[in-house]
Amino acid sequence: MSVIGDTKLEALLAGLHARSDAQAAAMRAFDADRTGQAQPPSPKEARAFLSDKLVALDPDKAELCYQLCRASNARRIVEIGTSYGVSTLYLAAAIRDNVRTGGGDGRVIGTEYEPNKAAAARAHFEQAGLGRFVDLREGDLRQTLKEIDGPVDFMLMDIWITMARPALELVTPHLRPGAIVMTDNTRQYRGEYAEYFAFLDAQGFRTMTLPFDGGLEMSVR
Ligand SMILES: C[S@@+](CC[C@H](N)C(=O)[O-])C[C@H]1O[C@@H](n2cnc3c(N)ncnc32)[C@H](O)[C@@H]1O
């Protein structure tokens, strides 16, 4: 049973998670090639392969994000890596539910540079009736996140790892004291995240790796 409490949204999410899971074997093979081959795929080949992959955040991690956003009454959320919009739907549902109970307004700022993924994500937001809670910024996040108005309560980092530190550098000045940053797969890819952790440390974040599959980092500003 999901914490979301919205049967229509849960049905949409179940279908999207199933589509993402169906691509998992191809993703694992790609990852093995990427890290093990004498000649790994070029950046162009990698982008072409990944351009139709959902790579959705696992449901338990996404539900934890929903819960944390509800508990902290988050109103401005930044999501680094939107893809087809799976995790965005959880975050937007949290804002909708915060607005329902407390009034006011809120938005998830999403980021996606593949046009086909951004279009699919927008369709999913509309299908779920959550479009008005999402500001999806299409293009490279190093450009699209240059402007963020107002304090950010919560951030989800679910992106190719080389982009994690540049994204955190852009958003950190906007994070309110006590803001939460959740980052996927930090135990599995600890080495690749070295620069990211160095920045967290330099900025004085308190951080811990939660025991989810691959590790889920919870950092507090
Ligand atoms: C792991 S997926 C995100 C999955 C999503 N959070 C979900 O749960 O459905 C990462 C996404 O980031 C996008 N991406 C990668 N580099 C980017 C960049 N520099 N700017 C914007 N989007 C980028 C990829 O196209 C990919 O769809």
Q: What is the pTM of this model?
A: 0.96
Of 29 and 34, the one with more pLDDT = 29
Kindly list the protein residues whose Cβ atom lies closer than 6 A to any atom of ligand 1: 54-57, 81-84, 86-87, 111-114, 117, 140-141, 158-160, 163
Provide the pLDDT for residue 35: 75
Predicted local distance difference test score (pLDDT) of residue 33:
77
Tell me: pLDDT of 38 over 80.
no
Nearest to 65 by CA among 178, 200, 187, 183: 183
Position 28 scores a pLDDT of 87
Closest by CA to 105, choosing from 89, 92, 118, 122, is 92
- Determine the pLDDT at residue 203: 98
3-state helix, strand, coil in the chain (%, to 5): 50, 20, 30
Indicate left, alpha or beta for 178 from its phi (over 0: left) and psi (-120 to 50: alpha): left
Mean pLDDT to the nearest integer, 137-152: 97
Q: Give the pLDDT mean for 137-166.
A: 97
Distance, CA 193 to ligand 1 centroid (Å)?
A: 16
Round to whole Å and give the CA distance between 74 and 68.
Answer: 8
Q: How far is the CA of 144 from the centre of ligand 1 (A)?
A: 13
- Residue 79 token pair: 């999501």
Amino acid occupying residue 200 = L
Residue matched to tokens 């937001």? 125
The ligand 1 atom nearest the CA atom of 112 = 22
Who has greater pLDDT, 27 or 181? 181
For residue 207, the cross-strand partners are 219
- Look at ligand 1, atom 11, and give the residue with the nearest C-alpha: 81
83-135 tens-digit pLDDT: 999 999 999 999 999 999 999 999 999 999 999 999 999 999 999 999 999 99
State the average pLDDT for the chain. Answer: 96
Residue from 23, 52, 160 whose mutation best tests the ligand 1 pocket (most atoms within 8 A of CB): 160
Overall average pLDDT of the 17-30 stretch: 92
Q: Do 204 and 210 touch, CB atoms closer than 8 A?
A: no
The minimum-distance atom of ligand 1 relative to the CA of 140 is 20
Backbone angles phi, psi at 143, to 5 degrees: -100, -45
Partners of 184 in beta bridges: 216
Contact 96, 9 (CB under 8 A): no
Predicted confidence (pLDDT) per residue in 54-72, tens digit: 999 999 999 999 999 999 9
pLDDT at 5 over 80: yes
DSSP helix/strand/coil, 38: coil
pLDDT exceeds 80 at position 36: no
- Distance (angstroms) between ligand 1 centre and the Cα of 216 equals 17
Determine the distance separating the centroid of ligand 1 and the alpha carbon of 220, expressed in angstroms.
22
pLDDT of 162 higher than 90: yes
- Beta strands 206-210 and 216-220, pairing class: antiparallel
The first and second tokens of residue 153, run together, are 């309560």
